Chains A and B, each alone.
Chain A
């Protein structure tokens, strides 16, 4: 176990640890021994106990190491006792040696220890104060983590709102209350006389009028004095900054949380899907600790699994699409209509309320609140309507849930937006001083503009106001309407009051054109009404329903609990959405009503208690498990979206609208953000404003923007490349693992095979007849397995990729022919065997029975051309590695079989193979180390091939090690392929040329088959017995060898690096020429063989065996063997 555990314990962590570990191990044997004897993986050196490390460096390292142990002890899967022991030991060592090292360090650790203890205690205390922990745990144990996640989200929002409240409270509300002008001193803080009477009425309060309107709740109350109090607190500036900080803080906290979450979950990093696994292994919620909940959870799991099964089954069949599609279209239309309807209704209501306000002197309670009531009603009713509509669509529950969420979100956003737009509309008309007639309006506005100039500049607002209005009165009569507006603000001054009385009625409607306050009021009202509706819906829909179901089920004719009304479900997703919506309202209104966050805090507290109570008393868990737990960023993403969209209106208001003239901290300014420039101009030194003007000039801003864009692009590119690397690494990991398993498996299988002399039975492998055939003939040995593996892989690759171009019928044809016509015992198996594999992989081998003799020459051309084109393509096909990856899984099984058959077919080759294979086997995993052996091997073994080798050597020598080893492989692979090719020769040799024409399309195929091709060509050329052709053949042959290399590299890319690829480029061409230059003696010998073979076809085996023997001593044989074999095949075919 220990070894397993050791290796297991977070490879990432142990990476760094391992490095240090290695360096330390030698030094710290003594200390380490304790650790080791515990059974950790390194059971090497049992060490000399007496090595008392006096070297401070050593000791230091030691201590570091021990510290690491202490730090990571928690992450080790050891039993507690061992952990404690190791921990104690490590601590002791650290204590003892650290003290010895230096005194100061000892103190340091003591201090650190103390600090740690204190922080731990503190942490414990803090945990005590985490609100609602117990409550959430209780819910968790009843309903599982899904429902609890809602409450945790709520709590998190609560935290955010607390911070927002503190921000606004500390920097805006408190200063205003403490140092600002007291209530009633200024006009904006005084209730107009005519309203004083009704200011304390309930319905006024309820509609946030009266005293509430003129309180710190709203924007309008805040004074416009630049500095207040003795300390000179700059309230307007603070107001603006806090308003921005609210958004900034929300953004930052949200993004941080999201980043943290995404770091926690790897889910987003991969697109892999483990539906069933997750449903099985992650199904049980270990938090559930309630029999009832456990029961329902069990049922839910069963449902879930069944659903997955059904889904899986239904993937294959389609339902009647026409009906479904039309239904879905209908549903979407319905949803769109209802969305549009809701938006229209809201707009209409706002419009109406505006008109009502103008026309009627007294508004009823309903008329005052209808806007928010309507909005709340819509937000309550529409989701249920959507749910009904969603049933029409017959989506999968999960999909429909997603649709539902999206729709509800759109609805909420639409509501908020239409509301805010309608409000702004109203604001527009309000701030333009309510024209009596258009002409008049322009007049007055121009007038106002002229007036505002002196107003701002000259004296205190009040005085100037009065003087200006008097001035107006005396001078211009036509401006009477404008006066009205003014008058209302100056109502305290008696001189004007009389005149304004005439316009009493008008005045009322515009007595306070403080649109910010109005917006704030509206938002607060909306929030309140929303709260009321939430409470009502909880009570009515959940509680009453629960009561009814619980107590009336006996006296009803059907089972209330399981049939119609049932208990209310706790719909996590919708509730979360509602929370998000709520938070959106807060963000939207926070600028205009600084106390909104505070109100929201209260609301959330109330909601928390009410909801948790309702959930525990009268809800059942949602049937459809919504998987958006804490580790999921779903909620947060929506919240972020909401935040962004809710920030927009505020920003627009700040940037576009002119603040009201007589209320609020920004009154008298052209734009709200002017406060910044004003502050910069007045309160900062001159150089700062200069710098600011530079910074804000387009010269700086534009490049900065560009830079930002570039940065974004750059980061994105990096992210993309990282993703790519990630993918590659994952692939690498996978292949590595696969290869590893393969190797182990092979060895085991080989061991099995040897005694039994029976072919290994892989379940999904070949047909029995072939296996039996093979079994009868072959005598396997483990080494051969290995050898075959290597050559096999390219071939199968070729097969797998081939799919696209070939037709099955042809393959069949060929197969049939091959099997039927050629009946020599050795050869038959291969052709038959091959095709059999092919279907396994669902691919069809490319077999183009092009038999024209004339093509032979063409082939030679093709061969020559082949390698280069192929080569280029290798690069292109890199991306396809993905495909390959999937393919690689299958082939493993072949490997088991192929050896057998090949063994049998080419006995003589084996004689040469054994030593080589031994080296080859490790290759897939560690190509580099195996390389030298291989090349050496080759040298010794095929000295005869000296020439060929030479050429190879020439071409490859200059290259790096990694490259070097590849040629060796190609070499082998080539040979191996030749074996393979023999089998296929009949099909492929001629087919090759046809295939070559398609080079462009299926290059990777070509790569793999390059070797085969060359062989086939060689044969054909041989037949031609033409020197030219011979030449070409030689030429082709080596390319073939190299063709192999791309294939191989590609093969290795999975676990090595793609780097090797580019290097190959040069060698290829080089080898081309080199091979051309190489002499033709091989050729001759091969022809000899060829003849020979023709003569004694029957003695094939014997001859081959002989040749094999020869091969050991004689030169060139090894190479020739292949040729002869292939020739042999060809002959038989012919």
Chain B
């Protein structure tokens, strides 16, 4: 899959969708992944898995460290630390509805379903 090969989150995707959490996928997992990433999948489902993908430490919250990892993967470590920190703060500031300093699934969903191009970008065509 060229799409997956170039995706900065490929490792995470594999982990999230694999049953053992290690990234070893069975056929079922594979099917699962593409059912989520297909165009037909509902938005909430996509949001849920997107959340899981970005939740690096699997604690059901996107906290600062997750955000930093996300950013670094996304930008290939091109941002300075200050920038990363600032962006993290901003992100949490924007999306954190309950002011607990991290993004819960609800926060994330609330934010992501409003994104204009989440649906169009969070899918893979095969």
Contact = CB atoms under 8 A, between A and B. Distances in A.
Interface of A: 4-5, 8-10, 74-77, 79-81, 83-84, 137, 140-141, 144-145, 149, 264-267, 269-270, 272-291, 293-294, 298, 301-302, 305-306, 308-309, 312, 627, 629-632, 734, 737-738, 740-742, 745, 889, 892
B98 A738 contact: yes
B83 A289 contact: no
B76 to A, nearest CB: 5
Contacts of B83: 305-306, 309
Top-6 shortest CB links A-B: A289-B2, A294-B6, A289-B3, A80-B28, A80-B32, A741-B98
A889 B113 CA distance: 22
Nearest to A269: B114
A74 B49 contact: no
A636 to B, nearest CB: 14
Contacts of B118: 278, 281-282
Contact of A284 (B19, B26, B121): B121
Nearest to A133: B125
Contacts of A75: 41-42, 44-45
A138 to B, nearest CB: 10
A141 B98 CA distance: 38
B60 interface: yes
Contacts of B74: 280, 283-284, 298, 301
A284 B105 CA distance: 19
A8 B43 CA distance: 12
Nearest to B112: A281
A267 B112 CA distance: 10
Interface in B16-37: 19, 26, 28-29, 31-32, 35-37
Given A281-B115, A282-B112, A629-B120, A734 B97 contact: yes
A312 B123 contact: no
A269 B113 CA distance: 11
Contact of A141 (B3, B45, B123): B3
Contact of B48 (A8, A279, A286, A293): A8
Contact of A302 (B6, B44, B78, B95): B78
Contacts of A9: 44-45, 48
Contact of B125 (A140, A149, A280, A740): A140
A286 B2 CA distance: 10
A743 B71 CA distance: 32
Given A8-B44, A302-B79, 13 more contacts: A75-B42, A269-B114, A276-B91, A276-B94, A277-B111, A280-B71, A280-B87, A281-B111, A284-B121, A289-B5, A298-B78, A309-B87, A631-B117
Contacts of A276: 87, 90-91, 93-94
B14 interface: no
15 contacts: A4-B60, A8-B44, A9-B45, A80-B28, A267-B114, A272-B114, A274-B95, A280-B74, A287-B124, A289-B1, A289-B4, A294-B7, A298-B76, A305-B75, A312-B90
Contact of B86 (A291, A302, A309, A745): A309
A302 B4 CA distance: 20
Contacts of B113: 266
A306 B80 CA distance: 10
Contact of B117 (A8, A141, A145): A145
Contacts of A279: 87
A593 to B, nearest CB: 36
B57 to A, nearest CB: 15
Contacts of B54: 281
Contacts of A10: 42, 44-45
A481 B100 CA distance: 90
Most buried by A among B4, B9, B113, B114: B114
B63 interface: no
Given A266-B114, A277-B94, A309-B83, A289 B75 contact: no
A627 B125 contact: no
Most buried by A among B42, B50, B95, B121: B121
Contacts of B2: 141, 289-290
A288 B6 contact: yes
A366 to B, nearest CB: 46
A286 B94 contact: no
B117 A77 contact: no
Nearest to B103: A277
Contacts of B1: 289
A284 B120 CA distance: 11
Contacts of A273: 94
Given A8-B105, A277-B94, A145 B121 contact: yes
A275 B93 CA distance: 11
Contacts of A8: 44, 48, 105, 109
Contact of B8 (A5, A284, A293): A284
B117 A287 contact: no
Contacts of A306: 79, 83
A74 B40 contact: yes
A892 B98 CA distance: 10
A298 B87 contact: no
Given A276-B94, A302-B78, A309-B86, A630 B120 contact: yes
B106 interface: yes
Nearest to A5: B48
Nearest to A78: B32
A269 B115 CA distance: 11
B48 to A, nearest CB: 5
B32 A286 contact: no
Contacts of B123: 286-287
A306 B79 CA distance: 8
B50 A281 contact: yes
Contacts of A290: 2, 6
Nearest to A297: B6
B71 to A, nearest CB: 6
